[in-house]
Structure 1
Amino acid sequence: ARRSQSNVSLLFIDLDHFKEVNDTLGHHQGDLLLSQAAQRIQLCIRESDVLGRMGGDEFLVILTGASELAHLGRVAQNIIDAMTTPFSLDNNISYISASIGVASYPSDVDNLESLISAADQAMYVAKERGRNGFSFFTPSMQQEVQERLALANDLREAIHKKQLEIYLQPIVEISTEQIVKAEALIRWNHPRHGMVPPDKFIPIAEETGLIHEIGDLVFHKAAEVMSRWLEIDPHGYCQISVNMSARQFLPSDIGNAWISHLSIINLPANRLVIEITESLLLGEEINIMEKLNRFREAGIEVALDDFGTGYSAMSYLKKFNIDYLKIDRSFVRDLETDQNDRAIAEAIVVMAHKLGLKTIAEGVETEQQKNILAEVGCDYVQGYYFAKPLPVENFLSLVKIKLQ
């Protein structure tokens, strides 16, 4: 390109959620998905363009003689659109998306190494903007990447120095309006930047593997708070739920470690609920079923989070031992004005009760939403109408007040 004074552009493609699919379905299906993804990308580019795999779930496309942003944007969007069609992997259906960074020589950089780095940086910006999109390289992105690396280092230090803490959001029983459950949520009060939103540091934790240490931290703190809650209300049937991602759940023997800890501190296992997402149930069924059964045999209950927004195969509810369905906030937000949302919420509640499951509605912000959910038979509600996530001491104080 330098000799011929022509343009070269690079698309850096990362498959969103591939690691989750690979962890849950196994490497064979992961390889099938990569092969199918490569075929779809190939159909979106010219014969003169070059497709290569960087490793893992990352691909590069080299486009020669192409520098117009409109053309590059069309190619990137075509690849993104091609990934939205479900992938058929043996007997499983998987869903992924793509985040793409775009950089060009010589308009953006003056050498090959910088071209790859620039496209990589642009790809991370696309991810931070919500994934399933593309971004063109700009000089300011170098600073954003450096900030991201700095945040990852700060997160390691925060774990080491115990700067992370949990907040608890009350879950209220509709029939009694008593706080009977709570969801433990991780919070990071950065010494320089203040409160860092979870959606900013959790993806970094997932990518770096720090999610395992964070998950253990949340669990141990939740167990400690649960013990204190029982001292306040020894006769109440209260529970605290903790979230588990696919990366936490599958690669390790975390279940036995948690169960053992509960036994050591003499906390009944049925005081803990683990929240999982629908994507976790896409994994190898026997393996997941064994692990869920291990939790439930110990007394730990299982909640399926954000129900209705993911894969939502009804067969999962039949095959796996689930105790609670958490109705996603997207079905609660417009309950007062949208009859379809009310119908969906009611259908979820009826189906859950027929299967012997309890329901928890998320994102409840008004009294009218609560009343509608009560009318359709929902069991529990969670949201800012009752309380936002609270620091531990504030939460326990609220519990004491409600008991008086």
Structure 2
Amino acid sequence: MFNDRLRQEMKKAGRDLLPMALIFMDLDGFKGVNDTLGHDYGDLLLRQVAERLLQSVRNTDTVARLGGDEFTVILSELKDNSDVVRIVQEILGNMSTPFHLQTELVEISASIGITLYPEDGGDAETLIKNADQAMYAAKQQGRNRFNYFAPFMQEASQMRIQLANELREGLKRGELRLVYQPIRNLRNGRVEMAEALVRWEHPQRGLLIPAQFIEVAEHSGLISSVGEWVFEEAASQIQRLQTAAGTSFQVCVNKSAWQFRHESVSVSHWIELLDKFALAPHSIVIEITEKLLLEANREVARRLKSLRDAHMQLSLDDFGAGYSSLAVLKHFKLDYLKLDPGFTSNPHLCEAITTMAHRLGIKVVADVSKRRTSWRS
């Protein structure tokens, strides 16, 4: 019905010479509600979202749910383009107002993409694609906002697809590399840890850092393969590092929140790899983000517990960038806190956090130099 209505409104816009707009909306945080409260609450939330959408638009507009948490709105017969901004701002305001789901109070937001007819496209498929790309750009800019479609977005989308295909081939050709950031123990001055950092040696683009390809890996589903490669490569190199620095030497390996949510973390496979290289479980420290802990559902919590049961250690990356509580730190029994770089310029704040962490039995890691050498206490 949505597709039929969209084509009808496009014909009407061409006949009456009144432009129309297509809005593509995706909910920010919906998956967290589904995972933590269950699908029944997720369904309740979708119903309330639909009701608020209907309240935000005019009687002549069309609201549809395409699937999952994706909604579209057809704004027809626009006499003034400012009407689009007014309606979209009302939608964003209504979506960011807390939802009452039985006994639960839930806060989400929305990311919205806008495309105009006939300026941005002459057929329904193009308009839908353009609105989707504009919505993606809104998410990239921080969520809870809207973005109009622009031609460069199509180019950016094509570049992401191309980069994903190149990464897929790069994995097969062995183009990924590991570099290590040393971590020095302040008590004895020795380097006793290192963080494994992945790089992609692209044949045309040169050496790429994670910020240039990890997001593409997550959206294309390649992050699981990248993560497994990093773990196995680190495990294969730890023997050499431990021979040089001592058997207690550890390597931190980052694990994407995407992996914990979307993939079954194969702890047994990791243990098999450690056994293969005759390494103790504590040789590798799994580094996770605050966001993962704050949004952890039962399955994520189970996977994290399985790491603890296997005697592997956990490190929390960029502590202080989010909203972690002491209860979260105690519940997940972390071994290391890695301070957000913004804290290291404030020695009093560093001292307070370090004292707190030590009382909880947690060690602290911080980057304190431009040479990318960290210290641990």
TM over 0.5: yes
| Equivalent position of 2:259 in the other structure | 248
Aligned-partner residue type, residue 330 of structure 1: G
Among candidates 183, 199, 210, match of residue 187 of structure 1? 199
| 1:215-364 matched pairs, under 5 angstroms | 215-235=227-247, 237-250=248-261, 251-282=263-294, 286-332=298-344, 334-335=345-346, 342-362=347-367, 364=368
Q: Structure 1 residues 84, 348: closer, same or farther in 2, change over 3 A?
A: farther
Counterpart secondary structure, 2:264 = coil
SS in 2 for 1:117: helix
Equivalents in 2 of 1:81, 1:316: separation in Å?
30
TM-score, normalised with respect to structure 2: 0.83
- Does 1:14 pair with 2:19? no
Residues 136-185 of structure 1: per-residue CA shift (max 9 Å, x gap):
12233322221121111111111121212222222222233332212222
1:10 shift after superposition = 1.2
CA distance in 1, matches of 2:55, 2:353: 40
Q: How far apart, CA to CA, are the structure 2 residues paired with 1:355 and 1:188?
A: 38
Give the match's secondary structure for 2:151.
coil
User: How far off is 1:248 after superposition?
Assistant: 1.4
Q: Secondary structure at the match of 2:114?
A: strand
Contact 1:275-1:303 within 8 A present in 2 as well: yes
CA RMSD of aligned residues (A): 2.9
2:3 match: none
Alignment partner of 1:141 out of 148, 153, 172: 153
Most deviating of 180-189 and 18-27:
18-27
**SS of corresponding position for 1:60:** strand
| 8 Å Cα contact 2:36-2:297 kept in structure 1 | no
Gaps of 5+ in 2: 1-11
> More displaced, 302-311 or 130-139?
130-139
Between 32-41 and 255-264, the greater mean CA deviation after superposition: 32-41
What is the aligned length?
Answer: 361
Paired letter, 1:232: A
Cα distance change, pair 74–316 in 1 and its aligned pair in 2 (3 A): same
Native 8 Å contact 1:269 1:300 kept in 2: yes
Shift of residue 219 of structure 1?
Answer: 0.5
Aligned to 1:395: none
Q: CA 1:157 to 1:19, structure 2 compared with 1: closer, same or farther past 3 Å? A: farther
> Are the equivalent residues in 2 in contact too, given 1:272–1:301 (CA < 8 A)?
yes
For 1:111, give the aligned amino acid. Answer: D
**Alignment check: 8 A CA contact 1:102 1:119 kept:** yes
Instruction: Tell me the distance in 2 between the aligned counterparts of 1:221 and 1:106.
Output: 52
**Aligned letter for 1:156?**
R
Q: Which residue of 1 aligns with 2:218?
A: 206
Q: Distance in 2 between matches of 1:361 and 1:312?
A: 17
Deviates more, 1:216-225 or 1:133-142: 133-142
Q: Give the TM-score, by structure 1 length.
A: 0.78
1:65 aligns with 2:77: yes
Q: How much identity, in percent, do the aligned residues show? A: 43
Is 1:160 paired with 2:165?
Answer: no
Q: Which amino acid aligns with 1:296?
A: R
